[in-house]
Structure 1
Amino acid sequence: MERLDIRKASVAGMFYSANADELEKSIEALINQVPKKSVESNTIRALIVPHAGYVYSGQVAASAYAQLDQDAQYDRIVLIGSSHHNRFNGVSVNLQNFYETPLGKVKVDVELAKELIANSKYIVNIPEVHKQEHCLEVQLPFLQKYLNNDLTILPMVMGSDSVAEIKEITKAVKPLFTENNLFIISTDFSHYPDYNDAVKEDALTAEMISKNNPELLFEHLQRLKERNIPGLVTGLCGWSSVLLLQFIVEDKEGFEYVPLLYQNSGDKLSHNHQRVVGYQSFALVTKEDLEMNDEAREYLLEIARQSIYQYFDQDYSVPDYSHEGIEKYRGAFVSVYVKGKLRGCIGTFQPNRKLKELVRKLAVDAAMHDYRFKVITEKELNHLSLEISVLGPLKMINSIDAIQIGKHGIYLRKGFKTGTFLPLVAMRNGWDAKQFVLNCAMKKAGMSEQELKDAEVFIYDTIVFSDNHEKSM
């Protein structure tokens, strides 16, 4: 019988529980604490996830894995992280048959690894590189627990700190970037600044990643080192792995990075805000056009109206209609007007149901459950008009100069204080970007001007359509 070559878990009992039952329960708890759908599962081509102990970065990692379809079938999962213990030229792939965790064994695509080594001088096998390296290992229990199928992985540990070499490695790895493979890039963000510096600098690094420009990201990280921020050792510990992914997709149209969740170790250890480590997750997704045809828009408006009428036990029939756009998972807002005056506006950024289902729910919520307005009465149905805003993904920005009035909505977050304005709010009030943000902070999020200074600011695209008429019963 052939002897299996198994890479044993090296950080079980330290970074995560060595007990299988405890490990499963901890992952379930982490997954249950995060939104399940910030992006559509079938658009995900790569995830960027942290690799610290689960008590510190587990929730951020879970925010990425929770986006996947649990029944998704991948030919292989390409795991890429940067070495914490060794420096060497190129990238080392593991040739052991399996990785083992307390949840069992995971198969390694050894034949593909050998093929890559044979075809590129920059892809090597250095066994000692993989023995104690945790950045890939800590991803496996999430994959084992969350995905309902047998896994095959290609473990790759980056050793190079040369941009020229990373470009050469890109040439060898790029053919693997297909719809049938999932890439997982393992990296933490800032190491050891104080809490406030971490929040500020990690937001800027996240914005650089979102721009999908590897040269720009590298220049940013170099400038970060030159600024001598107290305590800061690195702004992105797995920068070479992130850079590899960016080089893979930089010349490909139709991809975007969607930030999912940010935390740092200070959020978990409230008594230690002096030396923190930052964690940010991303999904790299294929961009999908928000636009939909006139029939799809009319259908969404009609089913929104139908939902409100049915709340009052009124008959309102809508012919069946099928369109790809209304089946997608998207965020949305529904606004309800009576005789042209706003009487409710409710929405969500989390696309946790198909758009057609979400619109039905939001329509009733806006008409009957927006505490800022009087509820709609049955007598007012004759004078009802509706407006629907379909939302693109949130994109973190570092400067309000990125806001385009009339195009972008904004979302602000500072701790538990959050607020959003749709694009039309700025246009209707004649605000510039500064006024747009300030009014959102003070009127919607309840922030002071001081709190706004270090709040997270996001933008998002929308398409907006309305019926602009009153229907008779």
Structure 2
Amino acid sequence: THVDVLKTGNSVSATGDKNRVVGYAALAFYADEASDSSGLSLEDKRLLFDIVQDTLNQFVNDGKIFDVHLSTEHLNQSLGIFVTLKAHDRLRGCIGRIVAAEPLYTSARDMAIAAASEDHRFAPVRPDELKDIEVEISVLSQPRDVSGAGEIVLGRHGVILGQGGRQGVFLPQVADETGWSKEEFLSELCSQKADLPRDCWQDPQTRIQVFTADVFAEKDLQ
């Protein structure tokens, strides 16, 4: 169970009586979602990380696509995945699949190539940059629909938002990295990612889905 503290206070503000004080708190309780965990072991994550690193080295240096075959149960799951590349603590590329039909290990390879070469915000990664590239992998749970912003827990949920054929997604870690409030987070998602009005998240016609992510980088695999 996940608990958020929404508001705290006491009776002094209402009565002015400091001799008899009653404290109160508003809490929101969220049941743990069954699909939160990717089920990946530490060894699975190391294998997935190695696939991404080997893919980047082969593709960026030689233009070759890494040929990988695995038979581990968890890496054969069809799960959404994002590969994020950073250099000197700045974003260098991020591409992913929210829902995948292929095994996780092949999606990891394909998203590594896409992050290095197909993110329209950046030029393709050059061989001389590889030594400075840091990789972060996010393995996603299955998305589920929510009725509104009240069900979204910042820092825990990634959010998919769509309307009229347009769609945008923010990973859970975006909230922590930016320090945005929930309103800012959703407004930026509407405008930046979905190319919709900033208040589209308040429109009943907008579909909102949430997911969780198992996020790891090399430092987490020691």
TM-score interval, normalised by the smaller of the two chains? 0.7 to 0.9
1:348 corresponding residue in structure 2: 97
**Alpha-carbon distance between aligned partners in 1 of 2:200 and 2:36, rounded to the nearest angstrom:** 34
1:201 corresponding residue in structure 2: none
Tell me the secondary structure at the aligned position of residue 449 of structure 1.
Answer: coil
2:137–2:216 Cα contact (<8 Å) kept = yes
1:111 corresponding residue in structure 2: none
Q: Identify which of 434, 449, 465 aligns with 2:198.
A: 449
1:389 to 1:447, Cα distance in 2 relative to 1, 3 A: same
Q: What's the CA shift for 1:438?
A: 1.1
Q: Identify which of 115, 139, 145 aligns with 1:366.
A: 115
Question: Unpaired segments of 5 or more residues in structure 1?
Answer: 1-253, 257-286
Matching of residues 264-413 of structure 1 within 5 Å:
287=35, 289-311=37-59, 312-313=61-62, 323-413=72-162
Instruction: Report the RMSD for the aligned CA atoms in angstroms.
Output: 2.7
Task: Name the TM-score, length of structure 1 as normaliser.
Answer: 0.37
In structure 1, give the amino acid aligned to 2:139.
V
1:299–1:321 Cα contact (<8 Å) kept = no
2:213 corresponding residue in structure 1: 462
Matching of residues 8-407 of structure 1 within 5 Å:
287=35, 289-311=37-59, 312-313=61-62, 323-407=72-156
Q: What's the CA shift for 1:341?
A: 1.9
2:99–2:142 Cα contact (<8 Å) kept = no
Total equivalences in the alignment? 185
Q: What's the CA shift for 1:431?
A: 1.9
1:200 corresponding residue in structure 2: none
Tell me the secondary structure at the aligned position of residue 404 of structure 1.
Answer: coil
1:340 to 1:288, Cα distance in 2 relative to 1, 3 A: closer
Residue by residue over 1:410-439, the C-alpha shift from the partner in whole angstroms, topping out at 9 and shown as x without a partner, is: 000011211000011011111232221111
Q: Greater relative contact order (Cα 8 A, min sep 6): structure 1 or 2?
A: 2
Moved over 6 A (4+): 317-321
Residue by residue over 1:15-36, the C-alpha shift from the partner in whole angstroms, topping out at 9 and shown as x without a partner, is: xxxxxxxxxxxxxxxxxxxxxx
1:19 corresponding residue in structure 2: none
1:302–1:318 Cα contact (<8 Å) kept = no
Taking only the aligned residue pairs, the percentage that are identical comes to: 27
1:303–1:318 Cα contact (<8 Å) kept = no
1:255 to 1:445, Cα distance in 2 relative to 1, 3 A: closer
1:396 to 1:338, Cα distance in 2 relative to 1, 3 A: same
2:29 corresponding residue in structure 1: none
In structure 2, give the amino acid aligned to 1:353.
E
1:346–1:365 Cα contact (<8 Å) kept = yes
Higher strand share: 2
Q: What's the CA shift for 1:322?
A: 5.1
1:306–1:318 Cα contact (<8 Å) kept = no
Tell me the secondary structure at the aligned position of residue 211 of structure 2.
Answer: strand
